[in-house]
């Protein structure tokens, strides 16, 4: 059984918003260059998907968590 994936090893303040077996939604507060909030939908072995809109990130997470 796959565990909830950890966030990528990148600089910034990380908060896990959602997590299920094999998929997770993380929020990253990046402060280098300019402050920006990014949302990472992580579902290995896929590449991490990075979005800048929380509603779209949650929608994508739900699709992946449901296995669709």
Q: Is residue 3 part of a domain?
A: no
Let me know if residue 22 belongs to a domain: yes
Res 23: pLDDT: 92
CA–CA gap between residue 32 and residue 18 (Å, rounded): 25
Range of the domain at 50: 13-65
Tell me, what DSSP letter sits at residue 63? H
- pLDDT digit string, tens, across residues 28-59: 988 878 889 999 999 888 778 999 999 999 99
- Evaluate whether 28 touches 37 at the Cβ level (below 8 Å): yes
* Mean pLDDT score, 19-32: 89
Q: Is residue 39 part of a domain?
A: yes
User: Is 7 within the bounds of a domain?
Assistant: no
Residue 55 preceded by cis peptide, ω within 30 = no
Which of 9, 22, 7 lies closest to 64 in space, CA to CA? 22
């Amino acid at each position: 059984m796959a565990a909830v994936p950890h966030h990528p090893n990148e600089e910034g303040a990380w908060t896990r918003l959602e997590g299920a077996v094999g998929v997770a939604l993380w929020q990253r507060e990046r402060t280098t260059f300019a402050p920006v909030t990014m949302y990472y939908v992580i579902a290995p072995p896929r590449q991490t998907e990075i979005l800048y809109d929380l509603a779209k990130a949650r929608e994508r997470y739900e699709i992946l968590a449901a296995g669709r």
